[in-house]
Amino acid sequence: MAATLCVVAVLWLRASAALYHIMRQPPEQFGSVMSRIPGPVAFLVLPFETLWLRARAGDLTVGDAAPDFTLAKLDKSGEIQLSSLTAQGKPVVLVFGSYT
């Protein structure tokens, strides 16, 4: 009985560690892996929310400069990079949210 419990505990720890590693990957890779996991298994069996909050916490603090990134323009005519806007010496305001 104890051996079975130890095996289950080791498997749970390995699955949790693997999920944490996958959560730290780019969204496309994370989504690809999660689409292969059947049903709500990851949510019911593993500490998904706790792992997610730790994996995606980041290390920025108030006052830090935003990391450079590139986004497509709304009209799909090209891309814009944050560093190209900050190089002009003008302030840049980043607004994150959903307007749906």
The more confident residue out of 16 and 98 is 16
Q: What's the whole-model pTM score?
A: 0.61
Q: What are the pLDDT digits (tens) for 67-90?
A: 889 989 989 999 999 999 888 888
Q: What are the pLDDT digits (tens) for 32-45?
A: 998 888 878 788 89
Element housing 19 (H / E): helix 2-23
Give ∠ CA 29-74-61 in degrees, rounded to 5: 60
pLDDT at position 8 over 90: yes
- The whole-number pLDDT of residue 100 equals 67
Q: Where are the domains of the chain?
A: 2-55
Instruction: Share the mean pLDDT of the chain.
Output: 88
Q: How far apart are CA 19 and CA 45, in angstroms?
A: 12
The residue-averaged pLDDT of 50-65 equals 86
Q: How far apart are CA 95 and CA 9, in angstroms?
A: 43
Q: What are the pLDDT digits (tens) for 89-98?
A: 888 888 877 7
